[in-house]
Structure 1
């Protein structure tokens, strides 16, 4: 009984975060301005767009806060509580809804994804990318594509190059630069690495001929999130 209640409590953290944000209205003007850096136009709804997010917060050390599985038990492969909250808040970012539950326009620079990728948790890899993407996938009634393991970046890049429409990729931050490098020419060049302490940014690549145009969009979902682009 206690384990089931703990599991339900953990799963509702994501939903609670999304519900709380749904009544917050439009982002402040400074957020709207920051969402257009670097100087690239927002993608049109019918454009081929790849959106990359790092999985939500995890334990940065062996101490507290600890990763927590859906069961409510401590799990080193899972998100910490703040990570579960971000996973829920991402629903409001990528699939915002009005008071009656109808879909409304997304923030400038963000598109509602029609495909979602996360790496396969497997028996050894982290569950965090899948956990991060799952609340949004449930809201959109989409499956999370987990055909590739965390290190199968070349295969994922090859698949992404052939995708059309808006695609979201939730992955471990160490591999994101490698995935993007496998897509071809990207202008301006994206950061070569993702800082260990940043979970609050979306990398957006818009197809531009045979290459891609890169920009960053701040999430600004939880207290402490930054407008500053990753350099």
Structure 2
């Protein structure tokens, strides 16, 4: 039985060109989140696991599984895993990070084998492809803009059909309303 809900986000903000991010130990790293990215990661923890289940939007749910693009030969970025880290720690749910960002089919197959609610943290250039694979081509979202880190794509299983929604996170100053279109 496929999950009843799949939520997909992009990793938190990355360093600007020529800058370095900061790893979880405070050391500079070109493969880690920027300070703003870490702020988003922390805010996302309570966004997906709010106190008393008071979600900011009725389409958001507490994930029982977290899948993030992993580190490998084609990408040394740890931003996906770092973005998922605070939520993982809060929920006590391990981050599944064995799929690389280009392994959308394998990641989709894994997630479709889960039940309940799943959250995926992925590379923005691959999210549209990931959604298409998850839905068997039924949903074809717009490409993810380079400058947006503040959107949640949501797939809800309604009687065996995927209903697609997107909502803005509105977690940090400067986050925009609206979705990908």
**Normalised by the size of structure 2, how large is the TM-score?**
0.90
Matches within 5 A, 1:62-211: 62-63=18-19, 66-97=20-51, 103-107=52-56, 108-122=58-72, 124-183=75-134, 184-187=136-139, 189-191=140-142, 193-211=143-161
Distance 1:223 1:200 in 2: 11
TM superposition outliers: structure 1 runs of 4+ over 4 Å: none
Distance 2:72 2:47 in 1: 28
Q: Which runs of 5+ in 2 are unaligned?
A: none
Are positions 1:217 and 2:173 aligned together?
A: no
Matched residue count: 176
Q: Is the contact made by 2:167 and 2:178 (CA closer than 8 Å) also made in structure 1?
A: no
Are positions 1:51 and 2:7 aligned together?
A: yes
Q: Deviations over 1:66-108 (max 9, x none)?
A: 31112222211000000000000001110011xxxxx423231
Change (3 A) 1:153 1:185: closer
2:127 is paired with a residue of what secondary structure? helix
Deviation at 1:185, TM superposition (A): 4.2
Q: CA RMSD in A?
A: 1.6
Q: Which runs of 5+ in 1 are unaligned?
A: 1-46, 98-102
Deviation at 1:140, TM superposition (A): 0.4
Give 1 or 2: higher strand fraction.
2
Larger Rg over CA atoms: 1
**Normalised by the size of structure 1, how large is the TM-score?**
0.72
